[in-house]
């Protein structure tokens, strides 16, 4: 005969973000290591050679950290003022940094004292970088100039005075030793591409807003710029600087850009404390990190081994990728192997064509609460559904069972006759879920029943009384909240109503003479129009 139909557990739409491959990938990091620096972390740069140390520029110091060390392996302190933009050369041997005092210093990563000092700028130098031939240095300064320097003799090679405002970011081409791009901050809004062989800039793009960060794709066909205007813009250099994509996902100034996963993901960090991860083929946000403070700098180790973020509250946060799951999987596979063989046993048997198959009746599996419901043990069914992991992890199952009991008219029987511990469990669940809109109707009914049943024993147990008081507080605050929401809704309605222009509804004489009215409406809110006369 018809078998027992298990309790229907409604499927609720999952709230929050969807779990995708990307979220799994970007969530697979260990808890961050937090290091307090001396001041706001303005720049982080990874050494291009293994073991991929990274230089952290904070206030008047540059710390170099090893990949897994929490203490700096090297510190450069010979700055007279705030240091800027400590960057490694492509061989990881040299490090260059600008300074508020307009002097650019070049360090050997194993030494302490500056190898060279480049003097010539008149204001703070915010941008320093090595060109791809490793013998020259690009600098950009607040005196509106960017200069090329020769490393061996610390001589200035050329000066470009095309920017009309502070230069706050710049990159050099990794493929062409003569090409570099700078952008100026505050008022200039332009991105300029310079060629060291030419006197002037070869390309100018207008970002429209002050630019804070620049990024060149490894192929160097695309340039990404970001800045105060909360926009990330992607430019196609090969098409003469045509804007390609406009991303508008942050709500404060974007301070830093980085590429991850071999250039397949673009990361942007902002003062709004978020780091967003974009897919570089679709330019959709695939993941989002939250940090405690406004982010000034961001860097990714090669292969996304670690994410390093520097913030305005002078905290450096380092997240390392988890690597344990592979070994864990190996172990679990080894453990599972015999049981898999047990499952497969006899399954791969192919019957001969004239074999007579006798099928064994399949015993259907029922959950514990369903087994109790099948036997009409209502209290036990409720107990089974109130098991701690079930009510914590899957409250919809507990609610489903309560609903089923209510449908059977036996909810009161199931709720009654509980001792202090069981009642406190029940109240705990009710308190936790009563304000959930998905569950509220049935849990309110259950809560009323509980109060009805147990009102005679109120005052006998301190624990229960405390929980009941909590329940009361929650309900009061919920009522207040809903009231406020309704007020907001009312305000919104009036605003919408005034913003929609009124349309006169035309009436035809024919319609009126026949006792018919003809109306027109094109908006999806026709109830806002003046009601046409029906007669």
Partner 1 sequence: MVEQAEIRVVHQGGSNITFREPAISSDSRFLLCASGHNVKVFSTVTEECVQELRGHADLVTGVLLRPSNHLQAYSCSADGTVRLWDFTDGILIKTYVIGYPICSIYASASHDGVIFIATPTKGYKTLDSLQLLAVHLPQTAGQLVETSDLSAVLSDVSANPATVAFGRAGEYVASTNGVQLQIFFFKKQKSFRFSLKENSCSGRSNTFTCVACHPTDDCIATGHEDGKIRLWRNFDQKREYTYRTLHWHHSTVRALCFTPEGSNLLSGGVESVLVQWRYQQESQQDFLPRLGAAITHIAVSPDGALFCTSHSDNKIVLIQSCVKVSSIIQGLVKGEAVQTDLMVDPRSKALVLNGKPGHLQFYSLQRDRLLFNLDVVQQEFIHQEGLDQFQVVMATLDGAGAWLATVEERKQETAEAELNLKLWAFDEPSQSFVLNTTVSTPHEVRITAVTFDPAARGQTSLLVSCGRDGLFKAWRLAVPAHPDDGGPSWTCDFVSAYHGLTPQRCCFSADGSLLAVGFQEVVTVWSPASWELLLTLSQPPGIIRDLCFGRLSCSKFLLGTTSSNQLCCWNLLTCSLEWSTSMEVSLLLADPLSDNMAAFCHQDGNTDLFVFKPSEPRPLFSQKAVCSGRVSRAVFAPREVALESCEESSQWLNRSQLYFLTPLMDLLTFSTRAEEERLMTASKQLVVDDSVAMTPFQLLLGKRRPHHQAAVEDPAVRPPADRPVPPGGSAAVRELLQSPAHVLPAAAALCSVFMEALLGVATETRENETSAGETPSDPEEEEEEEDSDQEMETRATRPERGLLETDSADPVLSRAQVRELRRVRKLDHSWFSSLLDS
> What residues line the site for partner 1 (CB under 8 A)?
1-8, 10, 18, 373, 404, 407-409, 441-442, 444-445, 448, 510-511, 514-522, 524, 526-527, 531-532, 534-535
What SS3 class is residue 185? coil
Instruction: Give whole-number Cα distances, 3 to 305, 363, 410, 508, in Å.
Output: 54, 11, 22, 64
For the bound state, the minimum distance from the C-beta of residue 520 to partner 1, rounded and expressed in Å, comes to: 7
For the bound state, the minimum distance from the C-beta of residue 262 to partner 1, rounded and expressed in Å, comes to: 24
User: What is the separation of C-alpha 339 from the centre of its chain, rounded to a whole number of angstroms?
Assistant: 40
For the bound state, the minimum distance from the C-beta of residue 425 to partner 1, rounded and expressed in Å, comes to: 24
Are 77 and 58 spatial neighbours (Cβ–Cβ below 8 Å)? no
Q: Which two tokens stand for residue 159?
A: 């000066």
CB closer to partner 1 out of 2 and 15? 2
**Rg for the chain, CA atoms, rounded:** 34
Distance (Å, rounded) from C-alpha 158 to C-alpha 147?
6
CB closer to partner 1 out of 407 and 455? 407
For the bound state, the minimum distance from the C-beta of residue 449 to partner 1, rounded and expressed in Å, comes to: 10
For the bound state, the minimum distance from the C-beta of residue 17 to partner 1, rounded and expressed in Å, comes to: 12
- Three-point CA angle 25, 26, 31, nearest 5°: 115
CB closer to partner 1 out of 206 and 520? 520
For the bound state, the minimum distance from the C-beta of residue 467 to partner 1, rounded and expressed in Å, comes to: 23
For the bound state, the minimum distance from the C-beta of residue 366 to partner 1, rounded and expressed in Å, comes to: 11
CB closer to partner 1 out of 357 and 510? 510
For the bound state, the minimum distance from the C-beta of residue 518 to partner 1, rounded and expressed in Å, comes to: 5
CB closer to partner 1 out of 316 and 381? 381
CB closer to partner 1 out of 259 and 505? 505
For the bound state, the minimum distance from the C-beta of residue 488 to partner 1, rounded and expressed in Å, comes to: 20
* Nearest of 180, 278, 282 to residue 237 by alpha carbon: 180
* Nearest of 97, 139, 137, 104 to residue 118 by alpha carbon: 104
For the bound state, the minimum distance from the C-beta of residue 4 to partner 1, rounded and expressed in Å, comes to: 6
Instruction: Give whole-number Cα distances, 526 to 359, 365, 523, 534, in Å.
Output: 62, 52, 6, 15
For the bound state, the minimum distance from the C-beta of residue 374 to partner 1, rounded and expressed in Å, comes to: 8
Look-up of token digits 């605050």 = 477
Distance (Å, rounded) from C-alpha 367 to C-alpha 126?
65
Distance (Å, rounded) from C-alpha 50 to C-alpha 307?
16
* Nearest of 113, 73, 108 to residue 93 by alpha carbon: 108
Q: What is the 3-state secondary structure (H, E, C) of 331-366?
A: HHHHHHHHHHHHHHCCCCCCCCCCCCCCCCCCCCCC
CB closer to partner 1 out of 113 and 358? 358
CB closer to partner 1 out of 331 and 485? 485
CB closer to partner 1 out of 16 and 531? 531
CB closer to partner 1 out of 99 and 373? 373
CB closer to partner 1 out of 5 and 360? 5
Compute φ and ψ for 226, nearest 5 degrees. -150, 155
Sequence-ordered list of residues with C-beta below 8 angstroms from that of 495, at least 6 positions apart, any chain: none
Distance (Å, rounded) from C-alpha 120 to C-alpha 123?
9
Compute φ and ψ for 12, nearest 5 degrees. -100, 145
Are 373 and 401 spatial neighbours (Cβ–Cβ below 8 Å)? yes
Compute φ and ψ for 399, nearest 5 degrees. -65, -40
């Amino acid at each position: 005969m018809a078998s027992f139909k298990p309790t229907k557990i409604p499927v609720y739409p999952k709230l929050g973000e969807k779990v995708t491959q990307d979220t799994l990938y970007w969530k697979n990091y260990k808890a961050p290591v937090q290091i307090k620096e001396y001041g706001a972390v303005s720049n982080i740069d990874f050494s291009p050679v293994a073991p991929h140390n990274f230089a952290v520029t904070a206030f008047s110091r540059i710390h170099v950290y090893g990949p897994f060390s929490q203490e700096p392996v090297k510190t450069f302190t010979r700055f007279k003022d705030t240091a800027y933009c400590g960057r490694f050369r492509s061989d990881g041997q040299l490090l260059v940094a600008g300074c508020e005092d307009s002097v650019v210093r070049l360090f050997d990563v194993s030494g302490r004292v500056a190898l060279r000092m480049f003097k010539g700028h008149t204001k703070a130098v915010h941008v320093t970088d090595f060109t791809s031939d490793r013998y020259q240095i690009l600098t950009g300064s607040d005196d509106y100039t960017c200069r090329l320097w020769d490393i061996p003799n610390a001589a200035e090679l050329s000066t470009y005075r095309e920017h009309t405002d502070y230069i706050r970011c710049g990159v050099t081409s990794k493929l062409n030793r003569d090409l570099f791009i700078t952008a100026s901050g505050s008022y200039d809004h332009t991105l300029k591409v310079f060629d060291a062989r030419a006197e002037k800039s070869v390309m100018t793009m207008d970002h429209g807003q002050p630019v804070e960060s620049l990024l060149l794709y490894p192929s160097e066909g695309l340039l990404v710029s970001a800045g105060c205007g909360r926009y990330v813009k992607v430019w196609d250099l090969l098409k003469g600087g045509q804007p390609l994509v406009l991303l508008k996902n942050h709500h404060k100034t974007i301070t830093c850009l980085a590429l991850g996963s071999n250039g397949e993901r673009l990361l942007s960090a902002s003062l709004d404390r978020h780091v967003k991860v974009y897919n570089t083929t679709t330019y959709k946000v695939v993941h989002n990190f939250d940090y405690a403070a406004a982010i000034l700098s961001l860097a990714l180790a090669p292969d996304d081994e670690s994410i390093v973020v520097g913030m305005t509250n002078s905290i450096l946060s380092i997240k390392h990728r988890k690597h344990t799951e592979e070994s864990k999987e190996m172990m679990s596979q080894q453990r599972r192997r015999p049981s898999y063989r047990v499952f497969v046993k006899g399954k791969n048997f192919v019957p001969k064509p004239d074999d007579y198959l006798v099928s064994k009746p399949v015993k259907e599996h029922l959950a514990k609460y369903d087994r109790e419901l099948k036997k009409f043990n209502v209290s036990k069914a409720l107990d089974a559904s109130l098991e701690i992991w079930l009510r914590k992890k899957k409250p919809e199952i507990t609610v489903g069972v309560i609903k089923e009991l209510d449908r059977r008219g036996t909810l009161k029987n199931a709720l009654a006759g509980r001792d202090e511990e069981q009642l406190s469990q029940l109240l705990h669940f009710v308190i936790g879920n009563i304000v959930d809109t998905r569950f509220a109707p049935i849990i309110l009914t259950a809560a009323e029943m509980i109060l009805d049943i147990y009102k005679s024993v109120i005052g006998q147990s301190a624990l229960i009384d405390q929980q009941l008081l909590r329940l009361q507080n929650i309900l009061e605050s919920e009522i207040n909240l809903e009231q406020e929401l309704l007020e907001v809704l009312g305000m919104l309605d009036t605003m919408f109503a005034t913003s929609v222009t009124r349309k006169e509804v035309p009436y035809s004489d024919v319609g009126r003479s026949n006792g018919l009215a003809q109306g027109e409406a094109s908006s999806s809110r026709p109830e806002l129009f003046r009601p046409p006369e029906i007669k």
